[in-house]
Chain A
């Protein structure tokens, strides 16, 4: 089919012809539909799932704490953050107390050195809900609610969760390394900036899973030929 050109439009006699050529020219330069259409039913499902997972149910925190501690300790060991102090996360503070304590909740874990010759330090409390749980819950809600094949959903879930876990690993490794190690994994200003931009900003725990979902959505395709 011959492509319409501006000369054709100029030569067209009636406004109907000119309009037809105008539409054809617009279609030629049409931008790609980057954003997928999200059906209202899926939006409702996503909001419902997010509310269900993020509601302050009692006991959620106590279930999540040991998982966070296992992941955090694995990150510290793999990255080598903390040096000789060998800091470790624990669901219980040194005195064996769990929540409720002054300023702590069901979601609080404690970070304390377990080795080294340095002066004894009190365990540091860390809230894991917004830092760790919320991005995972939102990743799950976003991926499960979008109308795609289950096979693609699983692939997207794998990619999305991997990206969210990478952010969480940075959120653990950078401050632990800075606080406990004589040779931090990143110099002070760099780790401070990465911390502020990726972790500390309040919106990031909500934007990070959305962005991870987008990367997973863009990187996968329905059908067996594509990765």
Chain B
């Protein structure tokens, strides 16, 4: 009985030290991020059969994305038409698989799942973060459409370098803000005075 009690104390001590070691917690977060992010990105990037259900679903999804972006572009350019995943107006743009910023979305989701927080706050963060990134991504497509009309030489640099960096910076900022909010919510006292007096 005494042995069991001592083993219990030793085990609790080990677990306590493990959970409080910041360095290990940070590396654990990195490992969880790799695992979750790897699975999500693999599901997204998997080379599905060309005429299978997976690619069909992607084609429908990219078409819906193109219609959404086309509706916003239509406000400035009424000539724009959407055909499949292609926007055709004063210039043409095709919404390809990576144009939906899904890679940044999935990495943000992976970071939020890997971060130690209650599931309720994770869900709030994922919905808000993905919503924000999706809105900004539609704006990105609208801006790229305008750049392709007015400054086509700058298109490649802005498309391939400026916007990916901006989307990653935005996702990192959103994650940093969410993690701070989540931690502060955790630290806040659970009980508030029913009738506090000065």
Contact = CB atoms under 8 A, between A and B. Distances in A.
Interface of B: 19-20, 22-23, 25-27, 29-30, 33, 38, 41-42, 45-47, 98, 101, 103-104, 107, 115-117, 157, 160-161, 164-165, 167-168, 172, 176, 179-180, 182-183, 186-191, 193-196
Contacts of A221: 23
Contacts of A32: 19-20, 22, 25, 116
25 contacts: A18-B193, A19-B189, A19-B193, A25-B189, A26-B190, A31-B117, A31-B183, A32-B116, A33-B22, A34-B29, A34-B115, A54-B161, A54-B165, A130-B160, A130-B161, A193-B42, A193-B46, A204-B103, A206-B168, A207-B107, A210-B172, A214-B26, A218-B26, A218-B29, A219-B23
Main SS class of interface, B = helix
Given A15-B193, A193-B42, A193-B46, A30 B187 contact: yes
A23 B187 CA distance: 8
A201 B167 CA distance: 13
A123 interface: no
B59 to A, nearest CB: 18
Given A31-B116, A32-B20, A134-B161, A217 B45 contact: no
Interface residues of A, number: 44
Nearest to A27: B187
Nearest to B160: A130
A71 interface: no
A214 B175 CA distance: 14
A30 B20 CA distance: 10
Given A192-B47, A200-B45, A15 B186 contact: no
Nearest to A129: B161
